[in-house]
Amino acid sequence: MSIKVCIFLGIITFLSPIYLSKGDYIFATDYYEVPVDHFSYARNETFKIKYLYNDTYWNRTGNGPIFFYTGNEGLIEVFAQNTGLMWDLAPQFGALLLFAEHRYYGASMPFGNDSFSSPDKSGYLTSEQALADFAQFLTWYRTSEGAEKSPIIAFGGSYGGMLTAWMRMKYPHIIAGGIAASAPIAQFQGLTPCNKYGQIVSADFQRVGINCFKTIRKSWGIINSFGENDGGRGWISKTFRLCKHLETKDDVEQFKEWLVDVYGYLAMIDYPYENSFLEPVPGNPVRAVCNLLSDPNESGKVLLRSIFKGVSIYFNYTGQSKCLDFTDEATGDLNAGGWDFQACTEMIMPICYDGQTDMFEPNPWNLTHYSDDCFSRFGVRPDPKVAELIYGGRDISAASNIVFSNGLLDPWYGGGMLNNLSSTLIAVVIPEGAHHLDLRSSHPKDPASVVTARKIEAGEIKKWIAEFHEKHEKQNLYYSSLEM
Amino acid sequence: MSIKVCIFLGIITFLSPIYLSKGDYIFATDYYEVPVDHFSYARNETFKIKYLYNDTYWNRTGNGPIFFYTGNEGLIEVFAQNTGLMWDLAPQFGALLLFAEHRYYGASMPFGNDSFSSPDKSGYLTSEQALADFAQFLTWYRTSEGAEKSPIIAFGGSYGGMLTAWMRMKYPHIIAGGIAASAPIAQFQGLTPCNKYGQIVSADFQRVGINCFKTIRKSWGIINSFGENDGGRGWISKTFRLCKHLETKDDVEQFKEWLVDVYGYLAMIDYPYENSFLEPVPGNPVRAVCNLLSDPNESGKVLLRSIFKGVSIYFNYTGQSKCLDFTDEATGDLNAGGWDFQACTEMIMPICYDGQTDMFEPNPWNLTHYSDDCFSRFGVRPDPKVAELIYGGRDISAASNIVFSNGLLDPWYGGGMLNNLSSTLIAVVIPEGAHHLDLRSSHPKDPASVVTARKIEAGEIKKWIAEFHEKHEKQNLYYSSLEM
């Protein structure tokens, strides 16, 4: 089985096209020049990162806050359009909306099309460099707008949520506080069991019906059996309307990986209302899939036909897809290349399946194999401990002013912070929430738990803003006593 | 007047030889391999930093702490020998003593003798990279010693004190707390007036006697007058026994700079007891000098002869120096080159004199001139705002567990933290203290204020250790609940 480098990104890249087409929010676009390397003086290159802003609601004269999205692995427009919480809260806070693109994604390529050609170019794609981009950008932005008295509140989801948390931890003089949604800052080696992700996905399906769980678990053996010979592979290819026929056993492995990913994505986007992603999906898509997978006693072909109908809800809800492209991994463009590279250097988030506590085939985490694959693809090798070294893993009690929100339907919550660490490090658990549901715009079908979560978040933001202004007034007095 | 890049380092380089010869403390030496660049994957080079340790007092089984010195601009042995406080406190705390050398100093050269040959080699000399060295080293050290339950307490003086504070700010999961002595973390543009340093030096001399201040202030005009012609320059050269005669007006400027530096060094090392540095000096050296500069009404030659006798206490207390080498700036070896480079990139600490509030000739801060000089020497240009961007300047209230100690005789206190920022960010002011007096070993002539300061520091360390153990026990429970 080939090593899957890219798991975390998947959903974002998958979903980008439709996210973009659903552009409900309006913003202006500009660029800001940053050094390729913030942490040495060996190179002088610079490049531009993209940022978006909207000042419709900004109470500039009243030192209204800046709501800042710490852009993650994808086009910044995606996050601007899909972080409705920021837009919903902006009017009541008189906030400016600001979204900065992460280096090496979207239009923010340090070396243009060559950005991933070799490690001496791609090597500056790290979270630390991205945070330094944001720090420099925000300092400049606030100064150029004369907004030194405007506190900056960071928002981020998923990897962007990790960046929000780390931004507050490393640059608390720039970020007054942060909403880190579905941020698996502890999804690293030795901090979270690698089978946790698969257990949560499986539990999501089991919650809807134990038979669903059993049906999926049973399917792997049947696929393997069919995958043994040309006839079986042909039958699967035809039944699942595969764009590319299963010619070899490797194809079968890749097909199964696609299915595993889809179950994970379904768990991540298990929102209570219809939403249009790669293809539109209904509300509670896991339930919709499981309604079709209710009988684990079905025999081979019947059971696989049910599986096909089930996953069709994910990739073909409207019936417009001509075929199922199981080779469509999130590696086809530079964005995906970006995350794959990060997943091959510092963002090593081990995922494994044991087949006992989850509904998947056993698939252990193999760092050696993973590392070799990274080296052959990018000329770099992963450093599984570096993220913990730099950011502290779960040991972040010295930080402050961060809300960590996690939905219990989200496979990533296993690597998240689920307990309050102090009065200013708040954990918000959303039992009915999938991947950063709280960051989305409010919706009539929102469960009560996410409504409450957003209220808590707004309350914390209010506190951070008050604290900032109080501190700022004190500091002004102090500075003015210095003869500069 | 030429630009003096190196001011901060001076004292260390100046004093190194004798520091080393006074090796009262015993330690073992070893090396640890670190990457040249912690923050990118563009380069693969590694090199070794030196570290020293002594486990005589370590209560290993009782999880005794690790006392760690964040090495600054010089040979690490210098700091091991001159941070007596750590050795004094080690027995009562059952502490391991550990000292790590800062990259690009002493034996810790990334590219050997070529380390300063061009920016692509020297460019990795930054405080952020040094902190990452320490973080990686400490994580490895603790693991390899099985000492995960031993809290690490950082110590540092001057730039080393800045590193201690920043280490706790950036890596609080690694450093439980830090004693940052005489750490001018705010000696940057816009944070501290550039004339503050000269004002403090002048105040030190004025405190001993207003006539001393007046005599020194008057001397510059007389030197200028003598410096106008060959005869006058010859007279000064002979009277001051200069190793190199003053041939030109530039020589005269350099000579005056030397004098300005000496007054600053005298203020820095104005300890209450005899101590042997480059040459031995008596206790309270500023007083000793000023005893010879008590009559500002002296005429030209008589006054300059007094100045010569005064500074002789600094450079020739034992009378063994054959001549006064005013060209002996701290630039002759790689160590000095290291600080000069840092002072040309991120460690820009503006110093100026106004001639009104200090006893020096007016000498404004000229960034353009400074920058051009840096570029011609190293091929780099200073970034005066980067240190504040990365570390926050005075805006550090989100940090915790740091003691900032400052002596009011120390010219650097102007850039230090002199007020408590919270219950865990403690400012300790030592009215009778010169440059990090508290870090030195206790001495019968210590003023009461430094005895008190050390007691406060020991008390904070005790709290940090207790807090660490409490947290660690909680975390152990939490981790063990995860099925890894």
Q: What DSSP assignment string belongs to B289-321?
A: HHTT---TT--HHHHHHHHHHHHHHHH-TTS--
Q: Please tell me the distance from the alpha carbon of residue B45 to that of residue B26, in angstroms, as a whole number.
A: 32
Domains contained in chain B, CATH given: 18-188+392-477 (3.40.50.1820), 196-378 (1.20.120.980)
* Separation between Cα atoms, residue B452 and residue B440, nearest integer Å: 14
Whole-angstrom CA distances from B329 to A171, B316, B340, B371 are: 37, 17, 11, 19
Are β-strands A66-70 and A152-157 bridged in parallel, bridged antiparallel, or unpaired? parallel
How far apart are the C-alpha atoms of B326 and B240, rounded to whole Å?
10
* Rounded distance between C-alpha atoms, residue A141 and residue A476, angstroms: 20
Percent of chain B as helix, strand, coil, to the nearest 5: 45, 10, 45
Percent helix / strand / coil, chain A, rounded to 5: 45, 10, 45
Q: Three-state DSSP class for B428?
A: strand
Q: What is the per-residue pLDDT for B18? A: 38
Query: How many inter-chain contacts (A to B, CB under 8 Å) are there?
Result: 118
Q: Which residue of A has its CA nearest to B386?
A: A136
- The helix or strand, by DSSP H or E, that contains position A270, with its residue range, turns out to be none
Contact A29, A281 (CB under 8 A): no
Chain A neighbors of B193, CB-CB under 8 A: 482-484
Full-model pTM: 0.94
B435 classed as catalytic: yes
The predicted pLDDT at position A480 comes to 43
Q: Do A43 and B123 touch (CB under 8 A)?
A: yes
Q: Do A122 and B41 touch (CB under 8 A)?
A: yes
Q: Cβ distance A324 to A244 under 8 Å? A: no
Does B405 score more than 90 pLDDT? yes
E-assigned strands of B269-396? 275-276, 280-281
At A317, list the tokens. Answer: 């809800």
Active site residues of A: 158, 410, 435
Which of these, B166, B151, B2, B145, lies nearest to B70 by C-alpha position? B166
Query: For A299, phi and psi rounded to 5 degrees?
Result: -85, 175
By the 8 A CB rule, do B435 and B182 touch? yes
Residue B152: closest CA among B92, B69, B52, B66 = B66
| Neighbouring residues of B467: CB distance < 8 A, sequence distance ≥ 6 | B176, B401
CA-CA distance, B473 to B190, in Å (whole number)? Answer: 44
Q: How far is B412 from chain A (nearest CA, A)?
A: 15
Q: Please check the confidence at residue B334 and state whether its pLDDT lies above 50.
A: no
Residue B207 pLDDT more than 80?
yes
Q: Provide the residue type at A299 as one letter.
A: S
Please report, for chain A, how many H helices and E strands are present, in that order.
Answer: 16, 10
Q: State how far the Cα of A143 lies from the Cα of A10, in Å rounded to an integer.
A: 37
The maximal CA–CA distance of chain B, rounded, in angstroms, is 86
The conformation of residue B213, written as its DSSP 8-state character, comes to H
Write down the pLDDT at residue A20.
40
Please write the tens of the pLDDT for every residue from B87-142.
Answer: 999 999 999 999 999 999 999 999 999 999 999 999 999 999 999 999 999 999 99
- Closest in A39, A397, A479 to B128, CB measured: A39
As a whole number of angstroms, the distance between CA A36 and CA A44 comes to 8
Contact A398 B193 (CB under 8 A): no
Question: Alpha-carbon distance A354 to A334, whole Å?
Answer: 32
- Measured in angstroms, the CA of B42 and the nearest CA of chain A are apart by 4
Q: A211: closest CA among A296, A319, A112, A333? A: A296
Over the stretch B344-355, which tens digit does the pLDDT of each residue have? Answer: 999 999 999 999
Candidate from A41, A124, A395 with C-beta closest to B40: A124
Query: Across chain B, how many H-helices and E-strands are there?
Result: 16, 10
Rounded Cα distance between B410 and B97, Å, is 27
Rounded distance between C-alpha atoms, residue B367 and residue B370, angstroms: 5
Specify the long-range contacts of residues A358-363, CB closer than 8 Å, at least 24 apart: A358/A195, A358/A198, A358/A199, A358/A201, A358/A202, A359/A198, A359/A201, A359/A202, A359/A205, A359/A206, A359/A213, A359/A214, A359/A216, A359/A217, A359/A263, A360/A198, A360/A202, A360/A217, A360/A220, A360/A260, A361/A220, A361/A256, A363/A1
Tell me what percent of the residues of chain B surpass a pLDDT of 70.
91
Query: Which residue in the block uniquely carries the two structure tokens 């038979």?
Result: A211
Measure the CA–CA gap between A3 and A5, rounded to whole angstroms. Answer: 6
pLDDT values of chain A reduced to their tens digit, one per residue, 484 residues: 344 443 454 344 444 333 344 568 999 999 999 999 999 999 999 999 999 999 999 999 999 999 999 999 999 999 999 899 999 999 999 999 999 999 999 999 999 999 999 999 999 999 999 999 999 999 999 999 999 999 999 999 999 999 999 999 999 999 999 999 999 999 999 999 999 999 999 999 999 999 999 999 999 999 999 999 999 999 999 999 999 999 999 999 999 999 999 999 999 999 999 876 545 789 999 999 999 999 999 999 999 999 999 999 888 777 777 888 888 753 334 355 799 999 999 999 999 999 999 999 999 999 999 999 999 999 999 999 999 999 999 999 999 999 999 999 999 999 999 999 999 999 999 999 999 999 999 999 999 999 999 999 999 999 999 999 999 887 765 444 444 4
Q: Cα separation of B104 and B81, whole Å?
A: 20
Nearest residue in chain B measured CA to CA from A341: B41
Rounded distance, CA B393 to CA A94, Å?
A: 28
Q: How far apart are CA B416 and CA B437, in angstroms?
A: 15
Note whether A43 contacts B124, CB cutoff 8 Å: no
- Does residue A104 sit in helix, strand or coil? coil
Which residues in chain B are closer than 8 Å to A137, comparing Cβ atoms?
Answer: none
User: A42 and B398 in contact by Cβ < 8 A?
Assistant: no
Q: How far apart are CA A128 and CA A317, in angstroms?
A: 40
* Joined tokens for residue B78: 């210098």
Rounded to an integer, what distance in angstroms lies between the CA atom of residue B460 and that of residue B176? Answer: 11
Query: Is B184 within 8 Å of B349 (Cβ atoms)?
Result: yes
Amino acid type, A248: T
| Strand pairing report for B402-407 and B177-181 | parallel
More confident residue, B475 or B188: B188
Least Cα distance to A123 among B382, B103, B138, B36 occurs for: B36
The alpha carbon dihedral of B200, B166, A418, A88 has a sign of positive
Residue B317: pLDDT band (50, 70, 90) is: confident
Residues B406-457 have pLDDT tens digits of 999 999 999 999 999 999 999 999 999 999 999 999 999 999 999 999 999 9
The set of residues, in sequence order, having a beta carbon less than 8 Å from that of A14 and lying 6+ positions away, is: A265, A277, A278, A330
Which residues does A369 contact at the CB level (< 8 Å), separation at least 6?
A3
CB B130 within 8 A of CB B47: no
Q: What are phi and psi for residue A462, nearest 5 degrees? A: -60, -45
Instruction: Using an 8 Å CB-CB cutoff, list chain B residues near A483.
Output: 193
Q: What is the ipTM of this complex?
A: 0.93
Q: What are the tens digits of pLDDT across the range B215-230?
A: 999 999 999 999 999 9
**Would you state the structure tokens that stand for residue A86, as one six-digit string?**
């920021």
| pLDDT (tens digit per residue) in B11-46 | 444 443 334 445 689 999 999 999 999 999 999 999
The phi and psi torsions of A376 (rounded to 5 degrees) equal -70, -30
User: pLDDT at position A6, please?
Assistant: 39
Chain B: closest CA distance from residue A482 (Å) = 7
